Structure 1
Amino acid sequence: MIFEALMIDSKSTEIRERIATSNIYPYAPAAAGGFFNIKLEYLEKDAALGVADRFGEALLGQPNLGRTMALRSLYEQASASETFFQQVWPRGSHTVRMPLVWGVGRQPDVRVPQRQIFCATLSDALVTGRSGMIRIGNSVVVDYFDDELKDWPVDFRFDPIIFAHTDDEAVVVGAGDDAPEISEAISLLGCTSFAFGHWISEYIPKYLIFKKIGAPDGIPILIDADLPPQQREAMASYTQGRHPIIEVAGFSSVRVHKLWVVSTLGFVPILPKPGTPIGLNHISPPADFVADLFRDIAGTLPTIPFGGSRLYLARKPSLHRRLINHEEITDICKSRGFEIVYPEEHSFERQLSLIRIADYIVGPDGSALLMAVHARPGTKLLIMNHPFLENLPTLTHILEEIGLDVQILEGECTRYDPSYRKFSDYRIEPTSLTAILDS
């Protein structure tokens, strides 16, 4: 039997351990054993409903947990809410300022669509650890607008509870009848919450919007269990004790009688289908609005008096989008007085202090540079990257609105990634970097 290993017997232990220790990073190669890839292995051999049933048996110890449910947009569900719905930013369009590229200049501004940003409360909602989906009745609720899915085909199967989907329905798995109940909560659960870049650009802004609209203190915040400690520390720093924080284990569900939700600032596809270019359309929130969110929180965050005026935010070469001559580039920066820091090796408080004290920040494009939203106005930031800059203006425009002096140094692509060209490898010309730093 194809799924013999998934049945609740001696062989299921191996599968459960494989899933429990898997790397659920969305773009992990098959060799990395990512949860998404484990799921795809079985979906190649049987129908989605059968796979969902067997994953439910292996993960939750219960049979027949697969369901076919209607797929509904968060906006459709939220706008029909009888309790609370508030528009935070209207739908329309706005301008994205292109970054200043060293030796090239600045391209003309680009006009892009703007999704509506809203906050709402949903009644009797079922949420699940490591999942961004919300189940209400016989519907699974997803944050998208129809035109966004037309532009970017998305594979929702990366979300742990989704095993197949069309435009109208999805095959899902998960227990709910015996789920513990909470009267009210804010959900920051999601299948990308473990990634620091997503945490700062997607999840934390949702909390800042709750704060901005005046959501009452004391409402519990649901976050995924086993997040990296820096993200848990960041949440504590942002909330300052105003909200209890409840950790939800992966695949465990919680029923919330009044669930507070915020739409993402821009469309953030959890897994664009390979080969799909990710441009500025839909992903770019209004830069002045986001800058205001982080300016408002800046005065409440703690700092400690250590750090230096020159900071190099290094990126480990084992990650995608590799800077292949990173050692040479690091040595150049070190020789000019830059402190070399791998942010993931430090607490959130330490990272925050280093960022806020720095006068000059240099680093390869990556999630670490998102901490620059906490830098002081006037800080000079140099971002090194390959020539494929299609979504970088989203960040650079926000940072410029905060008051940073931002410049891009383009490198030469050394390995092109046809699935997601954003993940291509590159090399920075040392003489170019030297010229910038010495000037």
Structure 2
Amino acid sequence: MMGEAFRQILVQAAQSGTQEGLEALERALSAAEPSDVAAQHLATLGFRFESEDRVGLAAQAYALAARVARSRAPRYRLAAIRARILDLCGRDDFDPVEPLLDDLQQAKTAAEDPGRADPSFVDLGWACEMHGEVERAVRFYLLARIARDHHGGAALTHDGDTFEVKIKNLRRLQFDALLAEGRFDEAIELHKRTGRVHGSAPLAAYEIVGVKALAEAGEASYVEILPGRRIEAPALKFWEPPPPLLSEPGDLDMPPLYLAFLQEAHAFPRSNVVVKGDRVVYDVAAHPRRKDILIQDGVNLDQIMMAAFGRTRALIEIPENAERIEAGLVMFGLQSRNYGHWFSEFVPRMLCYNDPRCPDGIPLCIDDHMPGTHEEILSLLDTRNRPVIKLPPRPVSFGTLGMAPVPAFFPFDMKPRQTFYDTIWPADIFGMIRERILERARERGVLSERNDRRLFISRKAFTQRVLENEQEVADRLRPLGFEVIYPETLSFLEQVALFHSAALVVGSSNSSLNNALFARPGCQILGLIHEDLSFNFRGYTSYVEAGGAQITFLRGKSSARKDNVHAFHANYRVDPKRVTDAVAQLTMRSPALAGCIRT
């Protein structure tokens, strides 16, 4: 039974609801006999404190209940540990929580409790993310990682990331904020706390330079293969009255096409980052428009390193345990496995590596996750019979590293609230590539004399920018003589041959239309696309029309998309009748089909 004196102290503690009241209770317990009734009153007091969000006091009350209880001590002890963890987290005192996780497991075993009332570090981390409390979110996810590894806790965050990926991404947000204020040393120290968690080496600060500036400083050899020049703006064509585009037209002044060599440089496959001494060599990052650009190296999921970019300096992971290659030519980088990026950003470099001023025998270095079509393209373009080295995802130390540029200023993405930059591609560069590929195709006898085929390019194998009523459109086009083509089932040369024999092509405006570059002059392309007016219409037009084909865009209706899907990749639907009406009009424009309208 509970003594009268203890009862009075308990009532006073409940009425005061203070730390002092609990301390008085604790002193009284030293002389009290074990009592389940007293324990229940103390647990009730703990529950009240917990409901008032005073979990520190609740933890103490539950602990006192465990001390005095006869039969339910394990359950009260478990409640005390749970409340103690929440109290520490609420006060941002995270370090003492880790050892409590072992105590929590032992208490659950003793109480035969399944753990459904355990604090959820995943939930707590997610709540902090939603409120912009980045550092607290990191600390909760670190605890969630421990719970996963040692106590069978949840394996993923609410948005499906592993805790390692999430912590890395949250740290990147912090780095961006710190670097914007020039606080590089703080960012480096912050990384030291968690870099090991996601397998990152220490960070160091590097000055950002372009290749030409590096050469001018005497740190690289540099020769221009093609000088800078001005090109013409593409003439855009729409099946509707020309809409008011929301993108920024790309620059018409093309940079020089150069060949450069660096000695003793480090590089990271699957990214564009090259480190030479205390500098990071990166043309886009050194561009005058840097303040408007999102640099994605060190961010994307397939990146093997961590990086963050300020205006003139960058934090780059120190390349530890690098593989050694004596000499190589850069054909690897960010988004190299994506066919559209591969052909526009990487393939033009072969014009530099084929130049007589590029020494024989230096291997082409590519990312090892590229599809086979990429290697097929290299073999067709390479006039020097160079060996190819496939680079696994780990840092590389080069004795000699050859570099060539993207043929136009092409930011991967723009910062939030910045107008999208619609790169215009130089027809002279892609015209040379086209001629080389077609020459090799003729040598192999894959080109036919036909020039009248009608092709509908399927997008079924893809999950983004999908034409949702593709089957309906295909059913309307087949009676008009269209063949449905699945590019992913064909070799590169087979695709080249198909486009070269076409008079009229219909398809989604994505990488499946890239090979329209190899169509004959006058071939009509109907590029289907969603309704987003910031789409890169100029980029597609300048690229496709470099070979003489003509592209007209038909915009459909965008479908709802998830928050993590870029507007450019929204799925969409088109009116099949508008497609067939456009086809009838384009047939009249095609030299091979004029006068041969099918209805």
TM bucket normalised to smaller = 0.7 to 0.9
Which structure carries more relative contact order (alpha carbon 8 Å, separation 6+)? 1
Among candidates 95, 98, 118, match of residue 235 of structure 2: 98
**Corresponding position of 1:200:** 343
Among candidates 393, 403, 409, match of residue 554 of structure 2: 409
**Corresponding position of 1:348:** 492
Among candidates 556, 572, 583, match of residue 426 of structure 1: 572
Letter in 1 for 2:289: E
d(CA) in 2 for partners of 1:325, 1:66: 48
Change in Cα spacing, 1:66 to 1:147, as seen in structure 2 (3 Å) is closer
**Corresponding position of 1:72:** 209
**Corresponding position of 1:22:** none
d(CA) in 2 for partners of 1:184, 1:219: 6
Q: For 1:359, what is the secondary structure of its paired residue?
A: strand
CA RMSD of aligned residues (A): 3.9
**Corresponding position of 2:322:** 179
Q: How does 1:348-387 map to 2 (within 5 A)?
A: 348-387=492-531
Whether contact under 8 Å (1:156, 1:270) holds in the other structure is no
Structure 2 segments unaligned to the other structure (5+ residues): 1-97, 99-138, 176-185, 586-599
> How far is 1:255 from its partner?
1.8
Change in Cα spacing, 1:311 to 1:59, as seen in structure 2 (3 Å) is farther
**Corresponding position of 1:112:** 251
Whether contact under 8 Å (1:128, 1:248) holds in the other structure is no
**Corresponding position of 1:395:** 540
d(CA) in 1 for partners of 2:431, 2:288: 26
d(CA) in 2 for partners of 1:279, 1:153: 12
> How far is 1:136 from its partner?
0.8
**Corresponding position of 1:148:** 289
Q: For 2:377, what is the secondary structure of its paired residue?
A: helix
Q: For 1:298, what is the secondary structure of its paired residue?
A: helix
Higher helix share: 2
Whether contact under 8 Å (2:206, 2:315) holds in the other structure is yes
* Bigger-Rg structure (1/2): 2
d(CA) in 2 for partners of 1:222, 1:338: 40
d(CA) in 2 for partners of 1:220, 1:5: 46
> How far is 1:305 from its partner?
6.4
Whether contact under 8 Å (2:260, 2:404) holds in the other structure is yes
Whether contact under 8 Å (2:407, 2:429) holds in the other structure is no
Q: How does 1:190-229 map to 2 (within 5 A)?
A: 190-212=333-355, 214-229=357-372
Change in Cα spacing, 1:73 to 1:374, as seen in structure 2 (3 Å) is same
Overall identity of the aligned pairs, in %: 23
Among candidates 427, 431, 442, match of residue 287 of structure 1: 427
Letter in 2 for 1:276: Q
d(CA) in 2 for partners of 1:389, 1:437: 25
Whether contact under 8 Å (2:325, 2:396) holds in the other structure is yes
CA-to-partner distance for each residue in 1:209-262, whole Å, 9 max, x for gaps?
A: 332565344220110012122223322333267110001111x12222221111
> How far is 1:363 from its partner?
0.4
Change in Cα spacing, 1:38 to 1:274, as seen in structure 2 (3 Å) is farther
Letter in 2 for 1:326: E
Whether contact under 8 Å (1:311, 1:340) holds in the other structure is yes
> How far is 1:4 from its partner?
5.8
> How far is 1:396 from its partner?
1.5
> Do structure 1's residue 158 and structure 2's residue 299 form an aligned pair?
yes
Change in Cα spacing, 1:416 to 1:274, as seen in structure 2 (3 Å) is farther
**Corresponding position of 2:168:** 39
Change in Cα spacing, 1:310 to 1:420, as seen in structure 2 (3 Å) is same
Whether contact under 8 Å (2:368, 2:392) holds in the other structure is yes
Whether contact under 8 Å (1:315, 1:364) holds in the other structure is yes
Q: For 1:104, what is the secondary structure of its paired residue?
A: coil
Letter in 2 for 1:396: T
> How far is 1:201 from its partner?
1.0
> How far is 1:81 from its partner?
4.5
**Corresponding position of 2:409:** 267
> How far is 1:198 from its partner?
0.5
Q: For 2:373, what is the secondary structure of its paired residue?
A: helix
d(CA) in 1 for partners of 2:360, 2:517: 24
> How far is 1:167 from its partner?
1.3
d(CA) in 1 for partners of 2:478, 2:428: 34
d(CA) in 1 for partners of 2:577, 2:312: 54
Letter in 1 for 2:569: F
Whether contact under 8 Å (1:355, 1:372) holds in the other structure is yes
Higher strand share: 1
d(CA) in 2 for partners of 1:298, 1:407: 24
d(CA) in 2 for partners of 1:192, 1:401: 23
Whether contact under 8 Å (2:269, 2:395) holds in the other structure is yes
d(CA) in 2 for partners of 1:435, 1:413: 20
> Do structure 1's residue 436 and structure 2's residue 582 form an aligned pair?
yes
Whether contact under 8 Å (1:129, 1:190) holds in the other structure is yes
Q: For 2:222, what is the secondary structure of its paired residue?
A: strand
CA-to-partner distance for each residue in 1:158-201, whole Å, 9 max, x for gaps?
A: 2632332211222222434x434333211111121111110111
Letter in 1 for 2:169: L
**Corresponding position of 2:262:** 122
Change in Cα spacing, 1:267 to 1:52, as seen in structure 2 (3 Å) is farther
Q: For 2:232, what is the secondary structure of its paired residue?
A: strand
Whether contact under 8 Å (2:265, 2:397) holds in the other structure is yes
> How far is 1:33 from its partner?
7.1
d(CA) in 2 for partners of 1:393, 1:237: 28
d(CA) in 2 for partners of 1:6, 1:182: 40
Aligned residue pair count: 418
Letter in 2 for 1:358: A
> How far is 1:5 from its partner?
8.5
d(CA) in 1 for partners of 2:219, 2:406: 21
d(CA) in 1 for partners of 2:164, 2:341: 18
Q: Decide which moves more: 422-431 or 409-418.
A: 409-418
Structure 1 segments unaligned to the other structure (5+ residues): 19-28
